[in-house]
Amino acid sequence: MDEIEPKPSKPSADRVAEPSTKYGGFQLTDEYLSWIAEVEALPENQSGADKTWVAELLHTSAQHYARAKRIR
Amino acid sequence: MQNAFVLLAGELDRRSVRYVTIGVSGANYYALSGSTVFHTEDRDLFLPLDPENLKRAWQACEATGFDLRVGREPLDYPRDLWLAERMVGHRALTKAFGPGGMHVDLTLVMGDFEFEPVWKERRTFLDAGAQVQVARLKHIVDSKVAANRPKDQVFLETHKEALRQLLDEDGPLS
């Protein structure tokens, strides 16, 4: 009796069968630290800067979503 | 109309309460645009292990209409130095619930950070005319990395990506 040739595997099925990569937690990279340093050094992030716009933006955003209605 | 936190910040300032804003609400003060502002209803204030300072913070909350709670219970009376000393001894969290659904945590713990170094490097920003003390963004991020709760991981990944888009892809800001 002839041996049955195994069917070629389907790449998509293989991918589904692969165990998902486990999230190893957040990595604090040098790149991220350099961006933070850059943000902290900006003139608008020094003491005395007026940040009223942040709360106003949050308030406007909250009001927008509070008015949202389900239509279907 | 001023929001409840602005009123509270003004009262904390008048009573010389030492605190720094930390957490997501602290990081929001460093936002560069809407893409780096994170929605939150809460304010987290880090206070030193100083009972007198904590008592003044409670008084500021009461003066601006905030209800004080410990866990699910109202903070006990009298809200005096004796009670503040017990709270500091236990590093207990005071929750303050204010007008308009504002929620403020008065925390005595910020990961492994001591208060003084954070206080020394804080920024003072203006919010609707009130002075708000805010921890360095680096300190806020470090404390979130240390806490490593799922919500911290979500914040950190999102914040990092937002900064990448602003600074890495568009080039340095000037």
pLDDT more than 90, % of chain B: 84
Question: What is the DSSP track for B90-119?
Answer: TTPPEEEE-GGG-EEEEES-BTTB-HHHHH
Q: Does B114 map to a domain?
A: yes
Q: What is the pLDDT of residue B70?
A: 97
Structure tokens at B142: 């470090």
Residues of A in contact with B153 (CB under 8 A): 23, 25-26
Q: How confident is the model at residue B12 (pLDDT cuts 50, 70, 90)?
A: very high
Is residue A47's pLDDT more than 80? yes
Domain that holds residue B42: 4-159
Is residue B173's pLDDT more than 70? no
How many structural domains are present in chain B? 1
Q: Does B164 map to a domain?
A: no
Q: What is the pLDDT of residue A17?
A: 67
Q: Do the beta carbons of residue B20 and residue B46 sit within 8 Å?
A: yes
Which among A35, A47, A54 has CB closest to B37?
Answer: A54
Q: What is the pLDDT of residue A14?
A: 66
Q: How far apart are CA B16 and CA B138, in angstroms?
A: 25
pLDDT more than 70, % of chain B: 95
Does A54 contact chain B (CB < 8 Å)?
Answer: yes
Q: How far apart are CA A34 and CA A31, in angstroms?
A: 5
Q: Which pTM value belongs to this model?
A: 0.86
Angle between helix B51-63 and B81-89 (nearest 10)? 120
Q: What is the pLDDT of residue A10?
A: 62
Q: How confident is the model at residue A61 (pLDDT cuts 50, 70, 90)?
A: confident
Is residue A20's pLDDT more than 80? no
Q: Do the beta carbons of residue B104 and residue B45 sit within 8 Å?
A: yes
Q: Does B83 map to a domain?
A: yes
Residues of B in contact with A39 (CB under 8 A): 30, 32, 137, 163, 167
Q: Does B130 map to a domain?
A: yes
Q: Do the beta carbons of residue A36 and residue B163 sit within 8 Å?
A: yes
Structure tokens at A17: 């069968």
Q: Do the beta carbons of residue B47 and residue B119 sit within 8 Å?
A: no
For residue B42, the surrounding DSSP H or E stretch is: strand B42-46
Q: Does B166 map to a domain?
A: no
Structure tokens at A41: 């050094």
**Hey, what amino acid is at B100?**
G
Question: What is the DSSP track for A23-69?
Answer: P------HHHHHHHHHHHHSGGGSTT-B-HHHHHHHHHHHHHHHT--
Q: Does B80 map to a domain?
A: yes
Which among B31, B39, B141 has CB closest to A61?
Answer: B39
Q: Does B165 map to a domain?
A: no
Query: Is B39 close to A55, i.e. CB distance below 8 A?
Result: no
Per-residue pLDDT tens over the stretch B108-120: 999 999 999 999 9
Q: What is the pLDDT of residue A45?
A: 96
CATH number reported for the structural domain that contains residue B76 in this entry: 3.30.460.40
Does A30 contact chain B (CB < 8 Å)?
Answer: no
The average confidence (pLDDT) of chain B is 94
Query: Under 8 Å CB-to-CB from A5, ≥6 apart: which residues?
Result: none
Per-residue pLDDT tens over the stretch B58-112: 999 999 999 999 999 999 999 999 999 999 999 999 999 999 889 999 999 999 9
Q: Does B171 map to a domain?
A: no
Q: What is the dihedral of CA B17, B19, B25, B26, to 10 degrees?
A: 130
Does A14 contact chain B (CB < 8 Å)?
Answer: no
